[in-house]
Structure 1
């Protein structure tokens, strides 16, 4: 019985250090979230104090508009890239013929 007690007494400081480090990590993580404006999460990942003020709503609207503009720009870039790929992969004699046809229509 005394051997088990000695073993447990020797293991207790290690367990105490592990628990202390885990708690300190949780406190630091929570502090960083609060400091940087992130909402706090509950045990199941739900937001405890979500920010639903007018500033947040306006920010979401602006980000949505910017997202739509960027998607439209990306679409036009994809179209241009498709034309460039067609020109690059097109055989040179077909491209030369098309250029000569364009020159002929200008003159």
Structure 2
């Protein structure tokens, strides 16, 4: 059973467009990964990280350290904000009573 040449002629442009579109999508995807710092993948799907050398590792270490400091500062600011929200929303009489109880604790 042979295929009619007119069918092959009708399907061929669609196949060529599909191949070109898939190659273009692969190029764009790879470019976006590189641009945004994502690792590329080898043929087995495992991530391949470029050899950044010591300078890149030092930058990563410094950024990680700064990130830890900022997280600690953010935690303390959240605690302070919770206290301020409680002060703003509590009734004045309850707040005055709590301040008085703290003052008496310090005197004892």
State TM-score, norm by structure 2: 0.69
Number of the residue aligned with 2:85? 85
Contact kept in structure 2, 1:42 and 1:48, CA below 8 Å: yes
Number of the residue aligned with 1:12? 12
Where does structure 1 differ by over 6 angstroms across 4 or more consecutive aligned residues?
none
1:29-73 CA-partner distances (Å, limit 9, x unpaired):
334555676543224442335324101210111011101111111
Aligned length: 103
- Compute the RMSD of aligned alpha carbons: 3.2
State TM-score, norm by structure 1: 0.69
1:2-30 CA-partner distances (Å, limit 9, x unpaired):
77543343122112101111112212433
1:71-93 CA-partner distances (Å, limit 9, x unpaired):
11111101111101211221122
Contact kept in structure 2, 1:34 and 1:40, CA below 8 Å: yes
Task: Identify the range of structure 1 (14-23 vs 1-10) with the bigger mean alpha-carbon deviation.
Answer: 1-10
Per the alignment, do residues 43 and 61 of structure 1 end up closer, same or farther by CA in structure 2, a change over 3 Å counting? same
Distance 2:25 2:6 in 1: 30
Structure 2, unmatched stretches of 5+, are 101-108
